[in-house]
Structure 1
Amino acid sequence: MPNDTLIPAIGLVLIGRNEGERLVRCLASVPDEVSAVVYVDSNSSDDSVQQARNVGAHVVELDLSRPFTAARARNAGYAALKAMGVPLDFVQFVDGDCAIVDGWVAAASEALVADPGLGIVTGWRAEIHPDTSVYNALCDFEWHRPAGSILTCGGDMMVRVPAFDGVGGFDDTVIAAEDDEFCVRIRKAGWKIERLPLDMTRHDAAMMRFSQWWKRAVRTGHGFAQVGDLHADYFTRERTRAWFYGAVLPAVAAIGLFVSAWIVLAVLGIYVLSYLRTTQGLMQEGLPRPSAMRQAVLLSLSKLPNVVGMLTYLWRRKRAAPMKIIEYK
């Protein structure tokens, strides 16, 4: 039911799976402005459920009847908040590997109160340990995007309740980029999305190995394909670049091995030019040259696992197979 006072009623949905100490840190960061907390657990094998109960959070444990997805978990948490019968104007969603920055919830709710046309507000996410690995550093750079009016945002967001209800929440079947897909429908419903120039959450990617980065990039590619299938006008550039650099050029190079070495050299030249442009672009965005050069390598290579993820989605769709999550940690 709506809140009739001038102070907005804010609920919080926290989702997680085997987050351990990261979840403890997240629970401890929940501010006093939040009137109700729901933790949604996706079959953790650690003590996540008990840790959430220890601090008084309402716990929802997802069953195994359907594949786990972040979208399904967020919807279940939102439904639990509604079922609790507490006044609810806005809902803050946060992932269990994040901690909420002091002052964020108050600032986000003030922005929503000030502009009734805003459906979603988000802020800046940052890595807790950006210097631990090049993969964490890449995540930290990805999180810090320009503030202002935006098209989509990540899963850490504060949402106006009528906006969430109006679009029917998240799509449970989308296993990656479900936040992008949700934001696309929010905007199509006439709501605005804004990124405030404020720190919002501290994230712990805990990505230390190449194999973890690869799986994360595969998941990203799956998101490109699945969300692009649902909204043909979204992720078009990302899908085109992935197919070109991750599939077409390798195929041309393979043919060149049997036809002409010049073809192989031409393909290598295209990759080198792309790498140099990426490095230059990262430097223009503020990264020092050494960091830009390292991250450009990963961004250039990412098209290969992106294609793996896109093909995985297409294969699953063709076979009408379940869209199971791709975990990297």
Structure 2
Amino acid sequence: MNPRVAIVAIGRNEGDRLKACLASLPDVPIVYVDSGSTDGSVELARKSGAMVVELSPDRPFTAARARREGYEALCEQGCPDFIQFIDGDCALQPGWLDQALSAMEDHLDWGIVTGWRREVYPDASVYNALCHHEWDRPAGDISTCGGDMLVRAAAIKEAGPFDDHVIAAEDDEFCVRIRIAGWTIHRLPLEMTRHDAAMYHFEQWWKRAVRSGHGFAQVGQMHPPYFARERQRVVVYGMVLPALAGLGLLFFWPLTILSLLVYGVNFLRIAQGLRGEGLETARARRLAALITLSKIPNAIGMLEFYRRRLLGRRMHIIEYK
């Protein structure tokens, strides 16, 4: 294995998922960054041979902070040319790192290479199925990617590391800066990681959607017009239509009916689009229902960001598992 690469894995109370993650990693320098776990994750990582960084609880835990401190811990020992970031609920697929490194060495303008993330148990719940669908994106040059990525150290030095204060969509925010610095982000047509969302309850999905809305607002505010379309949809379907429906119940019931019809049309449009992507009808309808409903918790997350910003509050992480 190329000695110029190292791995930063991050986690918080991932349990057996972290065990699977660490077992999947090749024989290269590994830093595991822990965000206040209470399930023995730190001891597990040390036994695996990884260098462990335990984040101090004096500041909010965020995935961005974990990745930044992991990167800085690596560089204290001599910064490698490439860093593979991976979340503790993911397992790296055999052969990925060799192929990704080869691609990076062939394309010196690539700052980030990523691949396909797949769910381990996509049929365990409709929420897992939705994650599985979200990860299914085309290969080629892309604007942003998720937190599993191989990054060129030179690109981090130019663009800066992950920003601690971004509590959701921190990977999007990082990728925006990488592209601003002039680097290309590329998705290879290869399976990179297997992810275990472990979402089996509506409450978990709801919190995840709230977190996404917070990310839309925060990253959109930092890098306008990024997430502009997402924010517009949330305003319409998560704020305006619910408000009109509520006013209709109080003053003019046809307004409520009209609002529900708009939701219905949006649901049918999303379901039709999913069917066009190859999903069978029943699954397309289930996912379309969640996507339609998600705008309401997205709106809650966006409003929470603006509330925190207005009051000068810290941006604390929103956890769903």
Task: Could you tell me which runs of 5 or more consecutive residues in structure 2 were left unpaired when the two chains were aligned.
Answer: none
Within the candidate set 18, 34, 38, 1:41 is matched to 34
Cα distance in 2, alignment partners of residues 103 and 242 from structure 1: 40
What stretches of structure 1 of length at least 5 have no aligned partner? 1-5
Partner of 1:84 in structure 2? 77
- 1:17 has 2:12 as partner: yes
Within-5 A mapping of 1:41-190: 41-85=34-78, 88-190=80-182
* Contact 1:8–1:90 under 8 Å retained in 2: no
Cα offsets for 1:164-194 (capped at 9, x unmatched): 1111111110000000000000001100000
Query: Which residue type is aligned with residue 22 of structure 1?
Result: R
Q: Distance in 1 between matches of 2:31 and 2:164?
A: 18
TM-score, normalised relative to structure 2? 0.98
Match for residue 3 of structure 1?
A: none
Three-state SS of the structure 2 residue aligned to 1:222 is helix
The 8 Å contact of residues 17 and 48 in structure 1, kept in 2 or not, is answered as yes
Per the TM alignment, residue 144 of structure 1 is displaced from its structure 2 partner at its CA by 1.0
* Structural RMSD (CA): 1.1
Matched, 1:30 2:22: no
In 1, Cα distance between equivalents of 2:306 and 2:190: 38
Count of residue pairs the alignment pairs up: 321
Letter in 1 for 2:48: V
Partner of 2:259: 267
Larger mean Cα displacement after TM superposition, 258-267 or 185-194: 258-267
The percentage of counterpart residues that share the same residue type is 59
Displacement, 1:197?
A: 0.5
1:216-248 CA distances to partner (integer Å, 9 max, x unpaired)?
Answer: 000000000000110111000000000100110
Return the alpha-carbon distance in structure 2 between the equivalents of residues 19 and 257 of structure 1.
45
Aligned residue for 2:7, secondary structure, equals strand
Q: What's the CA shift for 1:263?
A: 1.4
Distance 2:43 2:3 in 1: 29
Deviation at 1:7, TM superposition (A): 4.8
Q: Which residue of 2 is the match for residue 208 of structure 1?
A: 200
Task: State the TM-score, normalizing by the size of structure 1.
Answer: 0.96
Aligned amino acid, residue 127 of structure 2: Y
Q: Which residue of 2 aligns with 1:221?
A: 213
Cα separation, 2, equivalents of 1:7 and 1:314: 45
Where does residue 287 of structure 2 map in the other structure?
A: 295
